[in-house]
Amino acid sequence: MYEAMGGHETFVRLVHRFYQGVREDEVLAPLYPQDDWEGAEQRLRMFLEQYWGGPTTYSDQRGHPRLRMRHMPFAVTTDARDRWLTHMRAAVEEVGLEPELEAVLWDYLERAAHAMVNTAEPG
């Protein structure tokens, strides 16, 4: 999948576009490390590259992903999830993958985002 999607270049573009949206989002932006946006961008990029069959740099540097656990410090509400997905959708569309690849990627991202919700708080 990694190569079919366009390899490193695709993931750089995807995650960069995603964070442009997140940084402008009044709910999401405050959750992120304000002094390390670049690091956050790099961590998500490395994780997605690894997930889709690219280099395993993420786990080499960060260990086992355990993403739900790593998100526990942040209140991932349904609103936060929907905003996350909105910015990710814009990024996926901008990257412009073949429809079949895009559908598989999007299906994963949607499921992963739904699984990350960790608070029943509304909003």
Q: Which of 32, 86, 101, 102 binds ligand HEM (CB under 6 A)?
A: 32
Min CB(80)–ligand HEM separation in Å: 4
Which range in 2-10, 12-20, 79-87, 94-102 contacts ligand HEM by CB under 6 A? 79-87
Taking the CB of residue 117, how many other CB atoms lie within 10 A of it?
18
Q: Which of 13, 23, 43, 89 binds ligand HEM (CB under 6 A)?
A: 43
69-92 exposure pattern, b = at least 16 Cβ within 10 A, e = fewer: eebeeeebbeebbebbbebbeebb
How far is CA 105 from its chain centroid?
11
Sole residue written with tokens 């670049």: 38
Binding site for ligand HEM (CB under 6 A): 28, 31-33, 40, 43-44, 47, 62, 67, 70-71, 74, 76, 80-81, 84, 109, 112-113, 116
